[in-house]
Structure 1
């Protein structure tokens, strides 16, 4: 089996934010940033796997700080986890005010990517060489996140869901139940 160092597939991309990227409030549109995130996740995963890679899922994206027109946005991508055919790409987005040099963390996310061969079948990816405590922490965190997602799916599948276990909790929120 083949293994690769994380640094061999890391990618950084920087782009100037233009008025055409903005929303009606004058900030950069979140959808535009998501598009850039998907592009860099694709590039990082494809570089690691040496194959075309597709987005399988995106783990939570919280927009922490607005990005203004004229700022530089830097996206950083790194492989955090490898399965048999999948990879988790960790992403960090920062913006920089080019006049003041102030850098803001705008969001972080995790994209699960799957490598594909020319016939569009999933294909095995190289494993990771974990060579630092941080790389082990990120890999372990990805394992934990996958287990939590499986548990959430199991608890709320439509066949096994028990409505009576959740009605009181649901009623505490901004809903009107009409059963």
Structure 2
């Protein structure tokens, strides 16, 4: 039901979707709402970031809220973060990956961005606390476009697995 509603939303908005997304991003910027803000304002940022990520993925467009506006601060460990904060960080990287895929830039800047994103994913995985060590990756097959693929990653919530056994 929600999935079909989401498609209907884009169909209804049509070509004005981009201006709607840009308008909300502008509101967030003017009110200085970003991912480090506590409370409802921070929740609004992450909700909107997820919405923008989904819309960019579905419509092959650049996101209006990207790392040029705000990005999570670099930290040595995720051990003090909540699971939601850890998830927000990978959602942020995912949004950057979507922007990368929707950008038609070529040459060295694009190659540098691919290396940066790959490093960000590796860094994120390396900082996971042991309580969240249920991630696994799989190397993709090299396709006709070469080896510029990101690794697949799955997450099993620890509370959904009996007695620490991995599915």
Common fold: TM-score over 0.5: no
Name the TM-score, length of structure 1 as normaliser: 0.29
TM-score normalised by L of structure 2: 0.31
More strand by share: 1
Q: Please identify the structure whose Cα radius of gyration is greater.
A: 1
Q: Determine which structure has the larger helix proportion and give its number.
A: 2
